[in-house]
Structure 1
Amino acid sequence: MTRLPASSLLCALLMAAGAACAAQPERAAQPGRLPAGIAYPVPEYKGGMKFRTPDALDQQLLTEAARRMKLTPAIVRSDASQVGAQLASGQVRLALLAIDPARAPAGTTLVPTGYVAAPMAVMRTDTDIRRWEHLKGRKVCLSEGGLYVGTLAAKYGAVEIVQRAPADSLLAVRTGACDAAVHDSAMLEELVRLPEWKKFSARLPAGPGVPLSFVVPSADARTINMLRQAASEWKSSGYLEQAMKSAVRHIAFEVYLDQDVPDCH
């Protein structure tokens, strides 16, 4: 005998009593799918588009977690301000966000992946930008949906130029369209180790880091245990580091393919 979820059982009882019942979450009608939230779902690739590596590893890690659960991810946009309501309503079963543990919604458990997101800027080596405060009035490139969009203008008075993806942002620095590019420190530290980025390896110190964590209802012990095991295996196997390095290599290659003008001098 199939056991109905508590919300569905309550709905049936209400209907039997003649009461109106709110529509059930969409995921209830989609067996085999994992409704989950991340900060910026990667737009679907369409023919003719330039392939672009995304700004973060969250969608890749979420897809890997879904694979372990033998489910297909159904990804929606989420953030710390709305994830609690999304979980409570059933719109998502879990989320993967860069979230301060102090902002975890009540009734949820955070499962850190081991990746920490922290902002860092890269620039030409002959830049006169020495501190974050020097970004005032300067053109700073970021990628669409990135964690730091809006923060540099608000905090430092920078002129933010939002690009489609990290490759476009970094390309703008190489050609002089932007004075700096701001992305996650782990990615940029790896990038500037490449020989072709020697002239663009000046950087500002990384800002405060925030752990990339799964946000799961505390009552879902089975999923929490599975995600903890996955995170442990990712750490022991070096999976996160390998995924980050692979993403950086792809981003660097995308910049190389699209740079049809010389570096600024």
Structure 2
Amino acid sequence: MTPLPPSVHRCLPRMLRGGVTVAALLAGMLPAFGANAADAADAADAASTLEKIRQRGELKTGMQYVAPEFVPGTANKFRTPENIEQALAQDLARRLGVKAVAVTTGSARDGALLKSRKADLLLALASGKDAGPGDTVIVATGYVAAPMAIMRSDTTIKTWEQLKGRSVCVPQGSRHAGLAARYGATEKPYRAAADALLGLRIGACDATIHDAALLEELLRLPEWKKFSARLAPAPGAGTPLAFVLPAGDAKARAWFEQVAQEWQASGALQQQLRLMARNIAFEVYLDQDVPDCH
């Protein structure tokens, strides 16, 4: 039990003569002591976030879409995840020496996952202005997501508005799902990026929409020269991909800021995009059993 301060001991006889009981006095003081203890516990909990992750042996990262895990022997072929989040989460886990666990969020910014501790952080499209006061902090990774469409090089589609009435292949986990529909196009969902791009090559769709950063890497490959027509992102259409962290953990925030700086300084993000593009292109090549529809 916490001892009473000396000032209370000096004033206690006078307070008791005034009709204040010891029980009432203690009852009035306990909430303050309890609040201080709770604050201290919260601070200790926040300060040990990274240590707890290491002790648990896994880093739980929330992201908008988690690609289904590949199961050998099933009809579904291995597919490279369409978004960069899973690769980044793997690198974070490697740095911490733990297992990476991907958690699907209910939305791009599902703060409930952080509050319930079902996720240690989110990888989401967000900027600093999106952070709730005293709720979360935003640390930009250096990656910016912006929608771009690619088409056969002889396409008559020159503007986003000209997608009206056309068909567009979209990976089911695409962050840009619904964009083509807003222009009046018919969206065809595919299991993964490779499948959507294969649909474009064999003529199942007039266009494919995906992140510009990844598609630009894909179009550097010579076998994609015939499909290099593009609708570039509109000015200001890009949104930063960021770490969304619980507020109050300065140590964890500093660690994630350092990781983001290292990714940007080393060119790791671009290297990862280049690897993803090559892997996806190879998956398309393996599955394309009909000539390019061109």
Aligned partners of 1:81, 1:212: CA distance in 2, in Å? Answer: 10
SS of residue matched to 1:109: strand
- Which residue, 159, 162, 182 being the options, matches 1:134? 162
Aligned pairs for 1:108-257 (under 5 A) are: 108-153=136-181, 155-207=182-234, 208-257=237-286
**Aligned partners of 2:259, 2:126: CA distance in 1, in Å?**
19
Where does structure 2 lack aligned partners over 5 or more consecutive residues?
A: 1-37, 43-51
Unaligned stretches of 5+ residues in structure 1: 1-5, 11-26
Taking the aligned partners of 2:169 and 2:263, their CA distance within structure 1 comes to 31
**1:92 alignment partner in structure 2:** 119
Task: State the identity %.
Answer: 50
Q: 44, 65, 72: which is aligned to 2:69?
A: 44
Q: Could you say if the C-alpha distance between residues 246 and 64 of structure 1 is closer, same or farther in structure 2, counting changes exceeding 3 Å?
A: same
CA offsets 1:22-76 (integer angstroms, 9 cap, x no match): xxxxx99x92222220111121110133111111110110121122223322221
- The separation in 2 between residues aligned to 1:148 and 1:47, in whole angstroms, is 29
Residue matched to 1:23:
none
TM-score normalised by length of structure 2: 0.77
Cα distance per residue 1:119-155 (max 9 Å; x no partner) = 00000011111110111121101101110112321x2
CA pair 89-225 structure 1, distance change in 2 beyond 3 A: same
**1:215-234 deviation per Cα after TM superposition (whole angstroms, max 9, x unaligned):** 00121222111111111111
Which letter maps to 1:40?
Y
For 1:47, what is the secondary structure of its paired residue?
Answer: coil
Q: How many residues align?
A: 242
- Distance of 1:161 and 1:104 partners within structure 2: 34
User: Contact 1:80 / 1:99 at 8 angstroms: preserved in 2?
Assistant: no
- Equivalent residue for 1:22? none
Structure number, greater radius of gyration: 2
Equivalent AA in structure 2 for residue 42 of structure 1: A
Indicate conservation of the 8 Å contact 2:109/2:124, yes or no.
no
**8 Å Cα contact 1:80-1:104 kept in structure 2:** no
Distance 1:165 1:183 in 2: 11
Q: How big is the shift at 1:91?
A: 1.8
- Once the two structures are TM-superposed, the CA of residue 80 in structure 1 deviates from its matched residue by 5.0
88-97 or 238-247: bigger deviation:
88-97
Alignment check: 8 A CA contact 2:89 2:100 kept = yes
The answer to whether the Cα contact below 8 Å between 1:80 and 1:103 also exists between their aligned partners in 2 is no
8 Å CA contact 2:64–2:108 kept in 1: the answer is: no
Q: Which letter does structure 1 place at the counterpart of 2:191?
A: R
2-structure distance, mates of 1:81, 1:239: 24
Q: Does 1:68 align with 2:95?
A: yes
1:101 deviation in Å? 3.6
TM-score by length of 1: 0.85
CA distance in 1, matches of 2:184, 2:199: 19
| 2:137–2:244 CA contact under 8 A, matched in 1 | yes
Q: Deviations over 1:193-232 (max 9, x none)?
A: 2111111100001131011110001212221111111111
RMSD: 2.2
